[in-house]
Amino acid sequence: MSGSGELTAADLLAQAPPLLVLGCGYSGAYVAALRRESGARVVGTARSSTRLNELRDGGLEACSFDESDCGALSALRFDTAVDVVVSLPPARSEPHHGALRVALDSLSDISVRHAVYLSSTSVYGHSMGATVDETTAISPADPRGERRVAAEALIREWGAARRVSVDILRLPGICGPHRTPRARLQSGRYVLPEGGRVWSNRIYVSDIATATEHLFRRGGTGEDWIATDGRPFIVRDHIKTCCELLGLPMPPDVPLASLDPYRRAFWQGNRRLDPSRLRDSGWEPAVVGCRAMMTDAWAAENATGDVDNRGRHS
C-alpha cells in the first residue's frame, strides 16, 4: 500500500481473486498470465492435450473442456468467488453457441464475482470509414458479426440470471508475436484488396490483458467497452511501413471479390474506433501505433527464434 493510504494498481492486483479463463487461447493466455503474477489461482480451459500442456508449462492450472465433455469444468471448486473471462469465439460450425452455452451452464456450482466477455468490433458491421464508439448502434453485416451479437446476448442473459455483472470488451484486430503480416509479406502471400485503402484498428495482446484486469478492478459495471490503441490507420500505410522495416516490396493489389467471404469481412469493416470510454475510466495502452507493435512483436519472435507467423490480420 502506498504511503498516502491509497491502494495502487499493484496493490489491487495483489489482492485479486481467483480467475477462470474459459478459452485460454492466444489472448486468454495473456490475461491469465497477468493475474497469475499476483499469485492468485488461475485456471484456463482448452480443448487439445497439446494446449493443456502448454498452459501447464506456463505455470497455469489447466482444465480440459469442450461442449461434448464438460466434466472437468463442472467439477472445479474454488474457496472464494472467482472472476471469469470468457474468450470462446463462436465457431462457424456452432450457430447456437454450443460451447459457450455449455461452458456457462457448467459454472452453476461456482460463485462468480464478475465476468468479462472478449468480443469483437465486427458487431458494428460495415462502417464506411466512420468513427465508432460504444454509443454506435450494432449492425452486423456478415455471419461473423451476427454470431458475436448473439454470443453477447447469451452471456448477458446468463449474467442476469446469475446476478453477475458482465462487461463486454470489444476488440479489433489483435497484434503481438505471431499476429502480424510479417510471414505473409516475406512469403509473397499478402495481398491488398482494392489497394488497402480502408481504415483499420489494432490492439496489442498484452494490452488486452491490462484492459481486462482494469475492468475487474473497477468492480464490474456491466458496460460495453472498446479497447484499441486509439490510432486508426489506413491499411495501405501500415503495410508500407512494414515493408520498409522488412526491406520488402509492396504486395500486389487485388479485387475485394477475389477473397473468400470470411477474409472479405475483415476488409469491409472500414471503421475508426474511439476507445475514449475505456481510457477515460483510467486505462491506457502500453503499445501504441503500428510501428511500435511490429517492433515489439518481431523482437519477441526473434528472441525465441520462432518466426512462424500465423497471424490473420494485416
Domain ranges within the chain, ordered by starting residue? 9-178+204-230+271-286
Q: Helix 143-162 to helix 98-105 angle, to the nearest 10 degrees?
A: 10
| Residue 162 to residue 198: CA distance in whole angstroms | 41
How many other C-beta atoms can be found within 10 angstroms of the C-beta atom of residue 106? 20
Phi then psi dihedrals of residue 187, to 5 deg: -90, -10
d(CA 221, CA 115) in angstroms, rounded, equals 10
Distance CA 283, CA 266 (A): 27
CATH of domain 9-178+204-230+271-286: 3.40.50.720
Which helix (DSSP H) or strand (DSSP E) does residue 296 occupy?
helix 290-304
pTM: 0.92
Cell numbers that stand for 207 in this block: 494490452
What is the per-residue pLDDT for 265? 84
The pLDDT value given to residue 98:
81
Residue 279: how many other CB atoms lie within 10 Å: 16
Residue 71: what pLDDT?
86
DSSP bridge pairs for 64: 46
CB atoms within 10 A of CB 105: 12
Using DSSP bridges, classify how beta strands 233-234 and 199-200 pair: parallel, antiparallel or unpaired: antiparallel
pLDDT at residue number 99: 87
Residues contacting residue 237 through CB under 8 Å, at least 6 positions apart: none
Task: Spell out, as residue ranges, where the chain has pLDDT lower than 70.
Answer: 1-15, 93-96, 307-314
Q: What angle do CA 258, 242, 185 make, to 5 degrees?
A: 45
Please state, in angstroms and rounded to a whole number, the distance separating the CA atoms of residues 194 and 198: 9
Query: What residues are paired with 224 via a beta bridge?
Result: 168
Task: Return the ∠ at Cα 121 (arms to 120 and 126), rounded to 5°.
Answer: 135
pLDDT at 307: 61
* Residues forming beta bridges with residue 85, ordered by sequence position: 21, 116
